[in-house]
Structure 1
Amino acid sequence: MSPANFEAFRLQALIEGYDEVIEREWAPFTVLDMHTHPFGAKAVVTRGEMWLTVGDLTRQLRAGDTFQIESEVPHAERYGAEGATYWVARRKE
């Protein structure tokens, strides 16, 4: 996705009350076991693929897919053979 799209994503997130917006890149085959964050997040995958597990549900996410997670919700992440990049807006809740 283009930098212009990132700017639109960033501006919309700030309007919605998110505190920061960043781009995260993950190396191929990275695995993050169950963990939590002290912030809520909404994101859009821009490259690669990942799997997000919350409770008993695992979602496969590819470029163009979005996800949202509230603060302190246990979740796990796994990244595919190409790794992944996503834009994420974070908000302390």
Structure 2
Amino acid sequence: MNTSDFEANLKADGYSEIETQSLQPRPGKGHHGHHFAIRGLVLAGSFTVTQDNRRVTYGPGEIFAVAQDHPHDEEVGPEGARVLVGRKYA
């Protein structure tokens, strides 16, 4: 999916904050939740999300999502990552 289509889908689904993030490599932060839902498209590198005892690594062109207040962990691969993310507030 290209970035324009992804961004249009985010807006159509009510995601109000949309930005591209350049992330440095890092291990997980530990399980936590956010007061917003998040959906992201990996543009470069790798981004790993662990939720519901399932660890999934996403690469370029892949989409991840975490529901509002859902416990999860996230880590950035050794090469870092660029991710287009949207936040949706209840």
User: Which TM-score tier does this pair reach, normalised by the shorter chain?
Assistant: 0.7 to 0.9
Q: Is 1:86 matched with 2:83?
A: yes
Structure 2 unmatched ranges of 5 or more:
none
Extract structure 1 runs of 4+ deviating beyond 2 A. Answer: 5-12
Residue 84 of structure 1: how far off its partner (Å): 0.9
Aligned-pair identity in percent equals: 27
Secondary structure (helix, strand or coil) at the match of 1:10 reads helix
> Which of 18, 24, 27 is matched with 2:24 structurally?
27
TM-score w.r.t. length of structure 1:
0.85
Structure 1 unmatched ranges of 5 or more:
none
Deviation track 1:73-92 (CA, whole Å, cap 9, x = no partner) reads 01001111111111111111
TM-score w.r.t. length of structure 2:
0.87
Which is strand-richer, 1 or 2?
1
CA distance in 2, matches of 1:86, 1:67: 10
User: How many positions carry a matched residue from both structures?
Assistant: 90
